[in-house]
C-alpha cells in the first residue's frame, strides 16, 4: 500500500470497480481499492478546471509582477495537491490533478525566468522545453493521460522549431520533419501497446498518444500546406508523397492492431489517418472545397450506414450495438453537436429587415436578434 498514489494492484481494482460498479458491495470496493476516492467524468473535468483556475488565481493574488511569486504559488498548489492525495486519498478526481498540473507549470515558468534569453537548445528555445517537461512530469505523477498527451504534442510541435528540423525540412519539405516525428512516436506507442502493463493508466497514456498524435501533428502541417497551395507555390510532390505514404502505413498498422487487440484507440487513430489522407487528396487534386466536403461526408455516411448494418449481428466478435448503457457523456456530446450543427444551419437565414431593431427583446419572433 502506497501513500503517494495507488499501487498497480489497487489501480487495477479501481478499474474493475468502474466496470462493475453496481454489482459490487461498497465495503468490498473500499477494501480492495485501498480507500482511494475518485469521481465521475463530468465532475472530474469541472474539478480539474476549478483546481487549475484556483492555482492561477493564487498567483494573481500573490502579485503578477514578481517572478518569485510563480515559485511560491506553484509550491503552494503542488503541496495542496499532495495533501489531497496523501491526506484525503484522492485519485483521478480532478481537483488534485488541476492543482498539481498548474503547480508544476508555475514552477516550470519560474525556472524559465532564470534562463538567459539568448540560450538555445539544439536550435530551439529551452523555455518551452522546460514547460513541456514540467507538464509531462505532472502528468506522470498524476497518471493523467490527457496531460502527458498534451506534453508530447507540444514537444512534437516544439521540435519543428529546432535547427535540425529546419535543415531537414529544407530537403524533404516544410513541416514534414515534425509530422514524421509525430508518426514515429505514434508508431512507437502503438508497438508498446502490445505489451502487457500492470497499470491501466499506462495503457491509457499510450492509447491517447496513438489516437491523437497522427491527426494533431498533421493539422499543423496541413494548415501550412493549405496556404502553400492557395497562396504561395507547391514545394514539389516529394513531401506530399512522403506524408501520404506515412499516413497510409500508419493507418493500416493501426487498423490491424485495433482489430487484433480489440482496442478503441488504434481504431480512432486509424480514423484520424483516413481523415488526414482525405485532406491530402484535397491538396493534391483540383477538387473544389465544397465538392470535396460533400464527397467526404457522403463517404463517411455510406461507410457508417454499411458498417452499422453489417455488424448489427456480431461478426467475429465485432458488433455495432452498444454493449452497455454508460454512454451518458457521449450522449451529452451528441446532443451538443446536433445543436451546434442546427445553429450553424440557422445562420443561413436572411439578415434582419431595416425596420426591425435587433435584440429588441420583443416576443412573438420580434425578439430574435438576428445575430443568432
Partner 1 sequence: MHTLEPELRTLHAEGVIDDATAARALVRDRGQVFSLHTELRVTLYAGVLLVMAGVGIVLARHLDRIGPRAIVLAIALVAVACAVPAVRARLAGRALNDAGHYLLLLAVLLGSANLAYAERQFTLLGPWWSWHLLLLAVVHAAIAYAFGSPLVLAASLTALAGWFGVGVTLGDALHFASSTPELGARALACAAVIAGWRYSDRRARPDTRFSDVMDHFAANLAFWGAIAWCREWPWLAAGLPLLASLAYASVLRGLNAGREAFLVYGVGYAAIGLCAAVLPRIHGITMSLGFALIVVCVAAATLWQLRRRLRAPVP
Q: Does 314 bind partner 1 (CB under 8 A)?
A: yes
CB of 39 to partner 1, least distance (A): 5
Residues with Cβ within 8 Å of 69's Cβ and at least 6 positions away in sequence, in order, are 59, 62, 63
Q: Rounded to whole angstroms, what are the CA distances from 128 to 122, 185, 295, 361? A: 13, 19, 40, 48
Task: Report the residue from 229, 261, 277, 281 that binds partner 1 according to the rule CB under 8 A.
Answer: 261
Q: Which of 231, 290, 313, 325 binds partner 1 (CB under 8 A)?
A: 290
Q: Which is nearer to partner 1, 130 or 257 (CB)?
A: 257
Long-range (24+ apart) CB contacts under 8 A made by 83-90 are: 85/4, 85/5, 86/3, 86/4, 88/37, 89/34, 89/35, 89/36, 89/37, 90/36, 90/37, 90/38
Contacts of 20 (CB under 8 A, 6+ apart): none
294 contributes a contact to partner 1 by CB under 8 A? yes
157 or 261: whose CB is closer to partner 1? 261
Interface with partner 1, residue 263, by CB under 8 A: yes
For cell 448489427, what's the residue? Answer: 312
Closer residue to partner 1 (CB): 237 or 337: 337
Q: Minimal CA–CA distance to 175: which of 134, 229, 130?
A: 229
Per-position x/- string for 183-202, each x denoting binding to partner 1 as judged by CB under 8 A, each - no binding: ----------xxxxxxxx--
Q: What angle do CA 149, 153, 157 make, to 5 degrees?
A: 170
Q: Can residue 277 be called a binding residue for partner 1 (CB under 8 A)?
A: no
Residue 320 is given by DSSP the state: S
Cβ(123)–Cβ(91) below 8 Å: no
CB 80, min distance to partner 1, A? 10
Indicate the residue among 73 and 153 with the shorter CB distance to partner 1.
73
Residue from 254, 251, 267 nearest 320 by CA: 267
Q: Grid coordinates representing 188?
A: 512507437
Of 35, 63, 236, 237, which lies in the binding site for partner 1, with binding defined by CB under 8 A? 63
* 83-142 binders of partner 1 (CB under 8 A): 93, 95
- Could you say whether residue 30 binds partner 1 (CB under 8 A)? no
**237 forms part of the interface with partner 1 (CB under 8 A):** no
Our measurement of the distance from residue 149's CA atom to the centroid of its chain's CA atoms, rounded to an integer in Å, reads 7
Closest CA to 193 of 216, 209, 217: 209
> Which residue number, 163 or 335, has a Cβ lying nearer to partner 1?
335
- With a CB cutoff of 8 Å and minimum separation 6, the contacts of 212 are 149, 153, 269, 272
- The nearer residue to partner 1, 111 or 215, going by C-beta atoms, is 215
Among 10, 33, 36, 47, which residue interacts with partner 1 (rule: CB under 8 A)? 47
- Residue 320 as a binder of partner 1 (CB under 8 A): the answer is yes
In whole angstroms, how close is the CB of 264 to partner 1 at the nearest point? 6
Which residue in 268, 273, 276, 279 binds partner 1 (CB under 8 A)?
268
Q: Which is nearer to partner 1, 241 or 307 (CB)?
A: 307
Amino acid at each position: 500500500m502506497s501513500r503517494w498514489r495507488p499501487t498497480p494492484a489497487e489501480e487495477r481494482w479501481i478499474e474493475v470497480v468502474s466496470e462493475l460498479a453496481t454489482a459490487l458491495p461498497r465495503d468490498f470496493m473500499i477494501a480492495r481499492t485501498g480507500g482511494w476516492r475518485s469521481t465521475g467524468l463530468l465532475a472530474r473535468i469541472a474539478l480539474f478546471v476549478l483546481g487549475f483556475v484556483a492555482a492561477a488565481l493564487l498567483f494573481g493574488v500573490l502579485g503578477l509582477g514578481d517572478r518569485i511569486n510563480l515559485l511560491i504559488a506553484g509550491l503552494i498548489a503542488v503541496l495542496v495537491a499532495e495533501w489531497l492525495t496523501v491526506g484525503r486519498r484522492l485519485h483521478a478526481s480532478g481537483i488534485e490533478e488541476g492543482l498539481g498540473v498548474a503547480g508544476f507549470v508555475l514552477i516550470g515558468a519560474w525556472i524559465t525566468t532564470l534562463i538567459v534569453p539568448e540560450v538555445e537548445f539544439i536550435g530551439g528555445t529551452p523555455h518551452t522545453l522546460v514547460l513541456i517537461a514540467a507538464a509531462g512530469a505532472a502528468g506522470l505523477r498524476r497518471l493523467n493521460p490527457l496531460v502527458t498527451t498534451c506534453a508530447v504534442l507540444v514537444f512534437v510541435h516544439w521540435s519543428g522549431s529546432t535547427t535540425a528540423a529546419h535543415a531537414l525540412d529544407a530537403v524533404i519539405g516544410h513541416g514534414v520533419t515534425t509530422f514524421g516525428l509525430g508518426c514515429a512516436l505514434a508508431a512507437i506507442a502503438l508497438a508498446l501497446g502490445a505489451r502487457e502493463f500492470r497499470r491501466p493508466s499506462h495503457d491509457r497514456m499510450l492509447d491517447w498518444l496513438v489516437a491523437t498524435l497522427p491527426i494533431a501533428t498533421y493539422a499543423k502541417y496541413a494548415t501550412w500546406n493549405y496556404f502553400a497551395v492557395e497562396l504561395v507555390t507547391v514545394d514539389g510532390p516529394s513531401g506530399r508523397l512522403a506524408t501520404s505514404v506515412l499516413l497510409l502505413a500508419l493507418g493500416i498498422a493501426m487498423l490491424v492492431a485495433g482489430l487484433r487487440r480489440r482496442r478503441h484507440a488504434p481504431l480512432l487513430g486509424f480514423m484520424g489517418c483516413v481523415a488526414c489522407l482525405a485532406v491530402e487528396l484535397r491538396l493534391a487534386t483540383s477538387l473544389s472545397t465544397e465538392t470535396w466536403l460533400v464527397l467526404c461526408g457522403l463517404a463517411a455516411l455510406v461507410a457508417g450506414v454499411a458498417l452499422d448494418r453489417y455488424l448489427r449481428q456480431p461478426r467475429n466478435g465485432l458488433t455495432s450495438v452498444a454493449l452497455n448503457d454508460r454512454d451518458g457523456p457521449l450522449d451529452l456530446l451528441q446532443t451538443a453537436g446536433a445543436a451546434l450543427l442546427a445553429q450553424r444551419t440557422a445562420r443561413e437565414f436572411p439578415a434582419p429587415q431595416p425596420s426591425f431593431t435587433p435584440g429588441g427583446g420583443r416576443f412573438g419572433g420580434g425578439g430574435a436578434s438576428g445575430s443568432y
